[in-house]
Amino acid sequence: MRRIAVVPGSFDPVTLGHLDVIERAAGLFDELHVLVVHNPDKSALLPISQRVSLLQLAIKDAGLPDNITVASWSMGLLVDYCLEVGASVLVKGIRSQVDVAYETPMAIVNRNLASVETVFLLPNPANAHVSSSLVRQVAALGGDITPYVPRVVAEFLQKAPV
Ligand code: PNS
């Protein structure tokens, strides 16, 4: 049986922390779907289609394995996407206790809804402070985001400042 997993998130924009988790997850599963989902609790910087393009470029540029697919989902529950593609596992990166508190209820609800399990990965400590919200803030105020995001994202945001 093929082991299929989904790494969901806002990816607004994708950071080096995300890329690290994606690379680790790709090594653990036969097929990995990186799924861009709108989070109504966050004000968006980039349109969903742009986030998908930047993820695809960043994954290619980093030479990550070819078992990774990037997609977006706006048709309902995250677990509906999992059922559609035959994924039984969600993968999330955990940087701190704050992430544990945020992710735990979602993991339990997703398991109750569709028996989809959540696996938490510990990212490289070098990325423990990196978040998309921090990147959005630094970019909006004209700061240097190159230490936190893939090259393609830094180039894109420099060309099209937000
Ligand atoms: O990167 P984020 O913003 O922390 O990702 C959160 C996201 C998009 C994964 C989360 O909001 C989500 O799972 N949304 C899908 C809607 C859903 O299925 N909700 C019910 C179960 S939590």
Distance from the alpha carbon of residue 9 to the mean position of ligand 1, in angstroms: 7
For residue 92, give the ligand 1 atom closest to its CA: 9
Residues 6+ apart with CB under 8 A from 143: none
Burial string for 97-115 (b: 16+ CB within 10 Å, else e) reads eebeeebeeebeebeeeee
- Residue 132 CA: which ligand 1 atom is closest? 1
The CATH class of the 4-159 domain is alpha beta
Question: Average pLDDT in the 10-37 region?
Answer: 98
Q: Which residues are catalytic?
A: 18, 42, 95, 132
Q: In whole numbers, what is the pLDDT of the chain averaged over residues? A: 96
| 30-48 mean pLDDT | 95
Read off the pLDDT of residues 11-20 as tens digits, 9 standing for 90 and up.
999 999 999 9
What average pLDDT score do residues 26-39 get?
97
Percent of residues, the chain, with pLDDT higher than 70: 99
pLDDT of 162 > 70? The answer is no
Please say if the pLDDT value at position 66 is more than 90: yes
State pLDDT tens for residues 89-135: 999 999 999 999 999 999 999 999 999 999 999 989 999 999 999 99
112 is annotated as contributing to ligand binding:
no
- In the chain, the largest separation of any two C-alpha atoms, in whole Å, equals 48
pLDDT higher than threshold 90 for residue 159? no
For ligand 1, atom 3, name the residue with the nearest CA. 10
**Cβ neighbours of residue 54 under 8 Å, at least 6 residues apart?**
11, 13, 14, 46, 150, 152, 153, 156
The token pair that represents 68 in the structure block: 């990774």
CB 96 within 8 A of CB 127: no
DSSP per residue, 46-107: S-HHHHHHHHHHHHHHTT--TTEEEEEE-SS-HHHHHHHHT--EEEEE--SHHHHHHHHHHH
With a CB cutoff of 8 Å and minimum separation 6, the contacts of 146 are: 154
Residue 161 clears pLDDT 90, i.e. is over it: no
39 touches ligand 1 (CB under 6 Å): yes
pTM of the model: 0.97
